[in-house]
Amino acid sequence: MSGHDRLAALMRRGADFLGSDVAVMAGAMSWVSERNLVSAMSNAGGFGVIACGAMTPELLDTEIAETKARTGKPFGVNLITMHPQLFDLIGVCAKHDVGHVVLAGGLPPTGSIDAIKEKGAKLICFAPALSLAKKLIRSGVDALVIEGMEAGGHIGPVSTSVLAQEMLPEIADQLPVFVAGGIGRGEAIAAYLEMGAAGVQLGTRFVCATESIAHPAFKKAFIRASARDAVASVQIDPRLPVIPVRALKNASTELFTAKQREVARMLDEGAVEMAEAQLQIEHYWAGALRRAVIDGDIENGSMMAGQSVGMVKNEEPVADIIAALMNEAAEALAAR
Ligand SMILES: Cc1cc2nc3c(=O)[nH]c(=O)nc-3n(C[C@H](O)[C@H](O)[C@H](O)COP(=O)(O)O)c2cc1C
């Protein structure tokens, strides 16, 4: 069997689940994963995911319609569990018959799993630990993403390689599992597929796609950066648990420290409750990321990026990125 045939066989389960040609998801990235990148990804045979982030139901409605106008292929929508209008957003997905909903940001709130699956959509959740994966499987999710701390954006504490070793042998026979975080080349894709993954999810590698609307300055910074430039944010107040975010080092790293101090002070003074404090931190990130991705302010905006940023070498069409990844994976398998 050729390397490409072996690769196709290893990806079949994931590709069948997604309805795509290859079992590669472009992970939702706020401001980046909109109609253009998502449709390009699905048109190229992968699986694009719209980042709903802080969108209102009206904006999501438009974004889905515009994506559908650009591709007839399946794509997903990523919703954040703590969004105050989560159920309205689920309704918008149902109205458009979106086939796959990805829920990020913790355990699904009561009723959300049933609401998503009611109209036949498949539900994909993030499982940051084996115990949580088992819980999610029991509650009826259809697939899981396990994402390591090498990833860009909000991260957990454990590396992708350890999560894959701990979790794939225990759960990969029960449902499709997609491995994410730190994947920059096809050799790594082949390895995770051989370990039992149904597919993979990449984010950082697709930011500089020609079809991505990220500001030219944002893309240039990615192309220049190396792995060690993508650092995790630091929590400064033990009472205010902040989910770490991996991003390229710049002045916004200091701005985030100042923001944490401000929110911690408001907590001290009783001006906000913990939930509101955490929401303020999340809003801070959304605004800071927009400044960098859309406005091109690469000093004061958040440059969310994973450690695989060192493997982003130039701007190229999504189809070329996928073809390169698939060739590398197939060659690695052929050489086994
Ligand atoms: C700029 C950027 C923004 C992101 N925004 C989100 C988001 O809004 N929601 C989400 O679930 N994941 C988000 N992520 C994570 C990606 O979906 C994906 O899981 C991650 O990038 C995979 O790791 P990699 O960057 O090492 O490929 C973001 C990542 C980046 C780089």
Q: Which of 102-106, 181-185, 229-233, 275-279 shows the lowest mean pLDDT across its residues?
A: 275-279
Cβ of 151 closer than 6 Å to ligand 1, yes or no, is yes
Q: For residue 117, count other CB atoms closer than 10 A to its CB.
A: 16
Cβ of 98 closer than 6 Å to ligand 1, yes or no, is no
The closest-lying atom of ligand 1 relative to the alpha carbon of residue 148 is 23
Distance 269 CA to ligand 1 centre (A): 34
pLDDT at 274 over 90: no
Cα–Cα distance between 217 and 167 in angstroms, integer?
38
Query: In this structure, are residues 72 and 98 in contact, taking their beta carbons and an 8 Å threshold?
Result: no
The closest-lying atom of ligand 1 relative to the alpha carbon of residue 206 is 27
Query: In this structure, are residues 142 and 16 in contact, taking their beta carbons and an 8 Å threshold?
Result: no
| Per-residue model confidence (pLDDT) at position 119 | 86
Cα–Cα distance between 75 and 10 in angstroms, integer?
21
Record the pTM.
0.97
What would the pLDDT profile of 55-81 be if each residue is shown by its tens digit?
Answer: 999 999 999 999 999 999 999 999 999
Q: Residue 266, exposed/middle/buried by CB under 10 A (0-12, 13-18, 19+)?
A: middle
Domains of the chain: 3-213+311-334 (3.20.20.70), 216-307 (no CATH)
Question: What residues are paired with 178 via a beta bridge?
Answer: 145, 199
Cβ of 302 closer than 6 Å to ligand 1, yes or no, is no
Residues 6+ away with beta carbon under 8 Å from 258: none
Give how far Cα 317 sits from Cα of 38, 120, 188, 201, Å: 13, 32, 21, 18
Biggest alpha carbon–alpha carbon distance for the chain:
67
Q: Ligand 1 atom 19: the closest Cα is on which residue? A: 27
